[in-house]
Structure 1
Amino acid sequence: MRPMKSMFHQSRKSVPSLNVASMPDLIFTVLFFFMIVTHMRSDEVKVRLQVPQGVEVQKLANKQAVVNIYIGREGTKESKGEAGRWAVQLNGDIVNPNDIPALIEQIRGGLSAENQSRLTVSLRVDRKAPMGLVSEVKRNLQKAYALKINYSATEIKK
């Protein structure tokens, strides 16, 4: 017969330790994967902008189907001295407003069928830009059937 003490006494088993030596390698591999897979889209702005302010500002939901058009004076923020002539920049290049319909069609051709119908043009216009130039850009967008236009502004701090 067994003694009572040994029947209820349980031996303590040690939990095997987890080897964390390869943890940094795993973290850097995952980080590298997401850096490669993530598509960062940013345009180098080649025109000077003083964006107007607004009270009810909303963010765009689907940024995959957005074409950015900047209207401002030629020259970057970093360039010193007087700004140049008024210019139109579509995504990354300064363009002639009359070339906008062909460029929009080219961009639309590179989108998926779902995003082609969602194509939105985001206009970032300098607050002192001539309205004649803005109207010319809008007329050329109509020719390209790019009818969803978003006007960009900064929110007024309350």
Structure 2
Amino acid sequence: MSKFKKKKSGEIPAVNTASLPDIVFMLLFFFMVVTVLRDSQLLVQQKLPKGDQVEKLKKDRSVFIYAGKPGAGYEKFGKEAKIQIGDKFTDVSNIKFALEELRRKLRPELQDKVMVALKVDEETNTGLVTDIKQELRDLNLLKLIYITTPGNQLDN
């Protein structure tokens, strides 16, 4: 009878890399799903006033209007306060068209329940805010929210 001999080599076996592409693609899909992309770039300066009664805003039915002086890199648009809706500067007379476009982008069941969020720099003139509010009244968008930072304005 013959004896069977085992090979006794001291080499470490190679690592199996067959499942490596699967792991890489799973990680890729995971990060694609959980990453939140910014929907608009801020073109105006935003030093928000402080408020002591602050609530969390549901963003699913909100339309944001930003107002303030043009930010860094956008000084070519002047030093006066500007209105930003989405990624564009707009004039008071064009607010109606911009808001109608943003309203159409919302889900159909939320289009009648739109809340307009004003994010206004604390150095912006009240006249501009009044003009924006008048345009919102003309559009029958009466649910208005002012975005502030937590804190008390009197504490300095």
Fold shared, TM-score > 0.5 on shorter chain = yes
Question: Normalised by the size of structure 1, how large is the TM-score?
Answer: 0.72
| TM-score under structure 2 length normalisation | 0.72
Compute the displacement of 1:98 (Å): 1.1
* 1:90 aligns to 2:91 (yes or no): no
| Structure-1 separation of matches of 2:138 and 2:107 | 21
Quote how far apart the aligned CAs of 1:41 are: 3.7
- In the alignment of these two chains, the number of paired residues is 136
Q: Of 65, 68, 72, which aligns to 1:72?
A: 68
Q: Partner of 2:57: helix, strand, or coil? A: coil
**Quick one: which of 93, 110, 134 aligns to 2:105?**
110
* 1:56 is the counterpart of 2:56: no
User: Any gaps of 5 or more consecutive residues in structure 1?
Assistant: 1-18
Contact 2:50 2:151 in 1 (8 A): yes
Between the aligned partners of 2:138 and 2:98, the Cα distance in structure 1 is 11
Structure 1 Cα separation of the partners of residues 22 and 120 of structure 2: 47
Q: Spell out, residue by residue over 1:5-63, the C-alpha distance to the aligned partner (whole angstroms, 9 max, x if none).
A: xxxxxxxxxxxxxx9973783474254255158663432111112100111111112x1
Instruction: Give a deviation string over 1:41-100, Cα, whole Å, max 9, x none.
Output: 432111112100111111112x12221111100123x779xx721101012111001111
Aligned residue in 2 for 1:4? none
RMSD in angstroms over aligned alpha carbons? 2.9
CA contact (8 A) 1:75 1:84 kept: no
Percent of pairs identical after alignment? 34
